[in-house]
Amino acid sequence: MHRSSFPAVAAAAAFAGSAHAALIEYDGSFDEATDTISGDYRELGGDEDVGQFRLLEGTNRFFGGIVTPGDPGDTFNILLNDRQTLTAVRVSFDLDRDPFNPIAINQNTTLGVFDIDSTDPLRVSLSLSSAGDFASPDGFSLAGEDEFNILISSEVLALNDAGPVRYQIEFDVDEVPIPAPATAGLLAAGALVGGRRRR
């Protein structure tokens, strides 16, 4: 986990984008290029409104594209409920690119997970030094109920041809099930009987 390597410009953009959010209908997969009118996570709820996604148990997938200098980053918010834990963050970066037509990436191409309204906002950052797979460290976890801002951005990111560099971000979520009403009643009855026996 790296708290100091995230570019200052990226951090500023994260907070600028997290002030307003529009809850987006989400079924476990979302692509900014095909599922939005504006075609950008940063404008899903209107001008300067970022998308807000309530994550589901299992693997949640988000697809997008960025290219500098025209579109240097994407930002959106994710929500966890009080029974959920975010256990892993992964990004696959331009895996289908022709190896003879590589992308140029500098050290400030980064995916960050931020707390919202926190004095120590950066929870994890993944520095993208090349096309490929990147993942949060073993043992990483964030528990709900909470909201987090996701920012993928670059100071220098380019292709030999025109067009955005595609990425896929994955969030793995564990969820503790709500006890069924009958099960909850049995547990309560068992606790009552056990208390009487102890007396």
Q: Mean pLDDT over residues 151-172, rounded?
A: 80
Inter-residue contact 83 to 178 (CB < 8 Å): yes
Residue 133 confidence (pLDDT)? 86
- Percent of residues, the chain, with pLDDT higher than 90: 34
| C-alpha span between 122 and 12 (Å, rounded) | 12
Rounded to two decimals, what is the model's pTM? Answer: 0.79
Q: What's residue 188's pLDDT?
A: 60
Contacts of 4 (CB under 8 A, 6+ apart): none
Residue 148's CB is within 10 A of a number of other CB atoms, namely: 25
CB neighbours (10 Å) of residue 163? 8
Neighbours of 114 (CB within 10 A): 26
Q: Identify the band that residue 37 occupies on the pLDDT scale cut at 50, 70 and 90.
A: low
